Amino acid sequence: MKQTLLLFVLLLGGLLQQAQAQNRTVSGKITDRSTSQGLPGVTVIVTGRPTLGTTSNAEGNFLLNDVPADATALTFSFVGYATQEQPITGGPMRVALAVDAKQLSEVVVTALGLQANRDQLGTAQATVQGSALVSSGETSVVTGISGKTPGVLITRSSGDPGASANIQIRGAATITGNLQPLIVVDGIPISNSSVGNDGILTSNGGAGSNQVDGVVQASRLNDINPDDIASMEVLKGAAAAALWGTRAANGVIVITTKKGKLGDRMHIAVRSAFSFDRINKTPALQLNYGQGAGGLYAFGNRTNWGDYIGDRTGGADTQITDPTAAGYRGFVTFPDGSTQYAIANGTAANPHGGKNSQQTYDHGRDIFGTGYYRDNSIEFSGGDEKSTYFLSGSNTYTKGIVYNNSDNNRTTIRANVTRNLSDKFSSAVNATYARTYSSRIQQGSNVSGIFLGGLRTPGDYNNSQYYGDYTSATGVVTTGTQVTYRQPLGAGNPGYDNPNWTINRVTNNSLVNRLVGSAELNYHPTDWLSFLNRTGVDTYNDRREAFFPRQSAAQLTGSVTEENITETQVNNDFIVRANHNFSENFSISGILGNNLNERRADQVGASATNIVNVLSPPQLNNSPATARTPFNLKTVLRTAAVYGEVDVALLNQFFLTGTLRGEAASTFGTATKNTFYFPSGTFAWQFTKVGALADKQGLTFGKLRVAYGQVGVQPGLYQTQTYYVPASGQFVDGYGPALDVAAYGGGYIRSTTQGNNTLKPERKQEVETGLDLRFLKDRISFSATYYNNKTTDAILAISKPYTTGFASQYQNAAVITNKGIELQLDGAIIKTRDFGFNLAANFSQNKNNVANLAGVSSVFLNGFGGNSVNSVAIQGHQLGTLYGSRFQRATDGTGALVLDAQGFAQLDPSNGVVGDPNPQWRGGLGATFRYKGVSLYALFDHVHAFDVWNGTRGITNYFGTSASSGTRTTLSAADAAATKTFGGGTVASKVGQNAAYVANADGSVTFRGTVANYGGGPVALDEDWYTLGAGSGFTGAGEQYVEHVNTTRLREVTLSYSLNSAGFRDATKLQSIDFSLTGRNLYLWTNYSGVDPETNLTGVSNGRGLDYFNNPSTRSILFSVRLTY
């Protein structure tokens, strides 16, 4: 037995020695053919064995061990150089690579995260390099691409730190479903969820979350560190994204993160950046008139139609301090020891009353200061002969422009590791951890919103003293009461929160912990066949706490809400890839894959009102048990799919691609077929390889392309089922006594929405054609694309007869279409060794149409409802059309206004279309100047002809704080007698009736207001018109506050300098030091009178074009330095 074992060991040793002797080591040096300098980082692989390779070192030398004896050649590839194959020689190899300028733009990443040649694609695809995202100065990866790619429209929710952004690619592809694109990172779909203040959790977007108040929540896309991104691909069309089926109707954004290189030494990069942020644009306010009404000062009045400030005497106000005097109301003592008593109201004899001070305050800016953000990151990358690694860590802290409780702090850690396990097996692991803490500020239609309370505050009221101890007229003391312009003594309901109370006392905090990870295993049995299994997990937990102390306008008794949101997505793809070259003129490659995906969401929390102990920190048990309300929501969505792709290349100029995805999902109705199929086909012809065109010096490349594809939108969660909802209140049947569910400890009732088990996915079909040209040795490139898409079976809630026991049911009923063009022009106008000038321009136009609503008059998307201006879907109009109250017009086709007896426009009893928030077109223009190590880049973008409802202007007109409401107009005696006022009379007859109308010595009349003519003669737009008439921002015609807007903005300016010369590298041992100074949103040219019209009240919902006390956006100056070793 021992002899047999010894013989086996000797035999095994001999075999190992023989195997070792059969392998060999190959070495050599790789240089640039034009300079003869060594090239570092060149990838070297054994031809036909992609997992066996290395990379060249800093001097261009390489060493490759364990090269099989039967290997005959090595392949050398490097970005920007032509790939070269060279036979293995007996000694050191000498390889000289030639520059291939166009190669950098040829390789792109497709839907599944796999690489492809751009020149062979039959679809339009936009690429943004990671360096461009970082240099943009944006902390969000999405807003960093604004203005850089045609066909992509990005709208911020607000300028708050970490605020979400609405992304729309080639128009709206659905009506009530999610409109946000799918986000794929390194082949793994990740969540871009947003949970609104109404507690609605919507996966991969915010559709359906109708928000007009509260705070702007963050998008989970903000958890990605832009510095970790190598490139971002925007797949716009159905054909490009078809392999993602029902998740791709809105396009796909494919993000590729950075990785190390085989055989490369360790590289270290450290980056630090700091920015200053200022408010961009605020509504103009008037500071001519004070608090009150009818031209008289009134202490604590809710409006600002009071006395003329310039006529006051100046100095301190006369306060009513005598407890026995008329009008004594007590007083408030502020923390600094100062006091405030009531001030006597104005009278006809003295319009100012006791208000003497002429001091005014700009409430559009007084709570805003200089915000900032600091960003520090470090990364390590490299590899050996079989492994690569990339490790990074970053921290980004953003302090908002609001003085307090508006910030965002994100910390990320990323690790990307690959390993060649053998010459046939390789693996990759990718993991990211992100921790984000944010404080969000109140906005919108919200009595605690900073702009709602601030912009309604009279300009002569000082908001800085926002709380104190109130002593009533009878001597009762109430401590810690809120002080506002409506309650200057803190005596009761504040009406609207003082903005300083909101930013110092009201809190809304979120702590997110997120982990995204994936693992890949690749098997290459031959050089033409490979197998890939990729598993990914994306999970996050969001802990939120919202607190309103007692005396808050939104919650007079105080409230606290705590909730815990968890979302987890698990995705697995098994992919088989094969390719075969039959000849130089004919090759085929293909993909066959299987996808399994599960998304789970869990939201649980509770809210409590009637806060007991005002000194206690926020906690749920600081309230009576009867004032606590729990809530929870759980959802599960599963999808299974198989897919395939075939690519054919003919004569090296004709390229055909066909794909098919078959998909089943838990949201599909059980009465439908189990699987739905989504095909696509593309054709590309490089016509410059034909005949005489192949030799043209001016036109160096030309391609015609045609594509057709189908993608879809899944039905909403549980729309196929009839479920039960919590019951509240009492139920009666008309005969017996009422049934109170509270008496039974609560209960459930059947939903009024009937489930529909025949629901199937919405289906979008798109045809795309395009032309790609390059001129003058690829120095100038031009791309043009036309697309036409149609979504059928769009899901709507259709009304049901009440006799069925239901009010509505979701059905596949509607049709929506888009068609448009996209143009892109890039040119290296001047290109020398030391100087360069590049231009990049893009243009896009999309026309959307809600073609069929199945008899439904309109579908509410977002807004306030009722007669207010809302964003809706109406047949024959673009999605998001503004619909609401309007002026009455003649029915004879002239459109003339119908006037009342005084000549004023009248309110139409029915609502109608009042605007369209979709722009007619959008364009971007970027220019880069380079001189040696200095570079200057500027980007302008223009959005043309879109409508915004400026609800802020309507309400500030009502309250008399808007700039236009503060206008003083003087009319001659004749004009004053001829100019009519709302409700009867003329400007002349108002003298003596309203203190805002003053007769002058020459007979003329000066009044507060402006003169307009609606077609029936001059009329005065004064206090009565804005508060009682059709001009009211509350009850009047919303049409008059819809503004037709154009914007041009200097989106980005970056001045950079790089130290990277050979002498510098030798002296410092560093590869480079890069300095940059960036301005973001430096200037905005617009005719819009409100805040930056790029903001949107309802965030990432399907509604657009609504501005109602939106928090303003910012402009920034950023300095950064990056050291690379």
| Dihedral angle sign, alpha carbons of residues 927, 929, 930, 933 | negative
Who contacts 856 (Cβ-Cβ below 8 Å, separation ≥6)?
796, 798, 799, 813, 814
Looking at residue 106, what is its pLDDT?
A: 66
Q: Which of 1120, 989, 969 is nearest to 1058 (CA)?
A: 1120
Query: Measured between alpha carbons, how far is 928 from 841 in angstroms, rounded to an integer?
Result: 12
Q: Are 99 and 33 in contact (CB under 8 A)?
A: yes
Q: Is residue 90 part of a domain?
A: yes
Q: Which residue has the tokens 């003919």?
A: 650
The arithmetic mean of pLDDT across residues 901-918, rounded, is: 96
pLDDT in tens, 335-388: 999 999 999 999 999 999 999 999 999 999 999 999 999 999 999 999 988 899
Q: Is 1013 exposed, middle or buried (0-12, 13-18, 19+ CB in 10 A)?
A: exposed
pTM, to two decimals: 0.88
Query: Measured between alpha carbons, how far is 669 from 651 in angstroms, rounded to an integer?
Result: 47
Q: Is residue 989 part of a domain?
A: no
Q: Is residue 896 part of a domain?
A: no
pLDDT in tens, 634-650: 999 999 999 999 999 99
Who contacts 21 (Cβ-Cβ below 8 Å, separation ≥6)?
none
Q: Which residue has the tokens 């049409």?
A: 1039
pLDDT in tens, 452-491: 999 999 999 999 999 999 999 999 999 999 999 999 999 9
Which tokens is 970 given?
């003087």
**Residue 143, CA distances (Å) to 133, 222, 475, 1077 in order:** 9, 10, 56, 19
pLDDT for 1063 beyond 50: yes
The arithmetic mean of pLDDT across residues 91-98, rounded, is: 87
Looking at residue 239, what is its pLDDT?
A: 94
Q: Which residues pair with 636 in a beta bridge?
A: 600
**Which amino acid, residue 500?**
N
Q: Is residue 1061 part of a domain?
A: no
Looking at residue 878, what is its pLDDT?
A: 96
pLDDT for 216 beyond 70: yes
Neighbours of 483 (CB within 10 A): 25
pLDDT for 19 beyond 50: no
Residue 451 DSSP SS3: helix
Binned at pLDDT 50, 70 and 90, residue 758 comes out as: very high
Q: Is residue 1024 part of a domain?
A: no
Looking at residue 687, what is its pLDDT?
A: 92
The arithmetic mean of pLDDT across residues 1065-1083, rounded, is: 90
Domain ranges, residue 28: 20-100
pLDDT for 724 beyond 70: yes
Q: Is residue 75 part of a domain?
A: yes
pLDDT in tens, 584-627: 889 999 999 999 999 999 999 999 999 999 888 899 999 999 99
Who contacts 349 (Cβ-Cβ below 8 Å, separation ≥6)?
none
pLDDT for 159 beyond 90: no
- Average pLDDT of the chain to the nearest whole number: 90
**Which amino acid, residue 598?**
E
Looking at residue 442, what is its pLDDT?
A: 85
pLDDT for 107 beyond 90: no
Which tokens is 730 given?
């009492």
The arithmetic mean of pLDDT across residues 972-985, rounded, is: 96
Q: Are 785 and 684 in contact (CB under 8 A)?
A: no
pLDDT in tens, 268-319: 999 999 999 999 899 999 999 999 999 999 999 999 999 999 999 999 999 9
pLDDT in tens, 306-346: 999 999 999 999 999 999 999 999 999 999 999 999 999 99
What is the domain-level CATH number for residue 30?
Answer: 2.60.40.1120
Percentage of the chain lying above the pLDDT 90 cut: 68
Binned at pLDDT 50, 70 and 90, residue 746 comes out as: confident
Looking at residue 58, what is its pLDDT?
A: 66
Element (H, E) at 682: strand 676-685
Structural domain count of the chain: 1
pLDDT for 983 beyond 90: no
Rg (CA), the chain: 34
Q: Is residue 44 part of a domain?
A: yes
The arithmetic mean of pLDDT across residues 159-177, rounded, is: 87
pLDDT in tens, 193-203: 876 544 444 43
Q: Is residue 759 part of a domain?
A: no
